[in-house]
Amino acid sequence: MSKESIIGLFYNEHLQVKEIAEQLDISSAYVTKIIKQDFRYIQEKNFRKSVSKNKRKIAQNEFIKKKREKKKIEDNYSYVQSQHEQATKELSKSGHLSNESYRKWNYSAYKYNPSKKRYEFDNTLGRSADVPKYIKER
């Protein structure tokens, strides 16, 4: 429990006063008294302050980043939920599915024909009688 060991733990190992006191089983007031007598105290104090400032800055940036990600997930969830509600309304048995809704739902099956201003069903896919062959542009 020499002064050199206290100084070494504080300045070389960068341990906190409380950690040094617990490790050496002495009071933290005694540790503080010893380290304040050293000429490097002000320099070490400023170094630790800058390290803490950088850690706080990083932690704050991480917090903001996580908050933005959480907001993005919530926004995506609400968007998907609204899309689901819309699809449920359009595809429910109680209502009739319009040709336009069917085309939007099956967008890959229809190709736009600009000369006739309509969407035409891709015949290579095979079409049943209840599937519209042409859908006029709105």
- What per-residue string of b and e applies to 114-137 under the rule 16 or more CB within 10 Å gives b? eeeeebebeeeeeeeeeebeebee
- Domain membership of residue 44 (yes or no) is no
- Domain membership of residue 49 (yes or no) is no
- Domain membership of residue 48 (yes or no) is no
Domain count for the chain: 3
Instruction: For 27-60, write each residue's pLDDT tens digit.
Output: 999 999 999 998 999 999 999 999 999 999 999 9
- Domain membership of residue 45 (yes or no) is no
Residues 13 and 82: their CA atoms lie apart, in Å, by: 57
Residue-range definition of the domain harbouring residue 77 = 54-95
Q: Are residues 58 and 33 in the same domain?
A: no
Position 95 pLDDT exceeds 70: no
The model carries a pTM of: 0.48
Instruction: For 112-134, write each residue's pLDDT tens digit.
Output: 999 999 999 988 888 888 888 88
pLDDT number for residue 50: 95
- Token code pair at residue 54: 């950088």
- In contact, 42 and 15? CB cutoff 8 Å: no
pLDDT number for residue 136: 84
Q: Are residues 90 and 100 in the same domain?
A: no
Q: Are residues 58 and 25 in the same domain?
A: no
Cα 133 to Cα 57, 65, 94, 105, 123: the distances in Å are: 61, 49, 24, 15, 9
pLDDT number for residue 98: 79
- Domain membership of residue 47 (yes or no) is no
Task: Measure CA 49 to chain center.
Answer: 29
Least confident range of 1-5, 13-17, 75-79, 109-113: 1-5
- Domain membership of residue 46 (yes or no) is no
- Domain membership of residue 43 (yes or no) is no
Position 107 pLDDT exceeds 90: no
Q: Are residues 102 and 89 in the same domain?
A: no
81 backbone dihedrals φ, ψ, rounded to 5°: -65, -45
Cα 53 to Cα 44, 48, 61, 109, 129: the distances in Å are: 14, 9, 12, 59, 71
Instruction: For 69-84, write each residue's pLDDT tens digit.
Output: 999 999 899 999 998 9
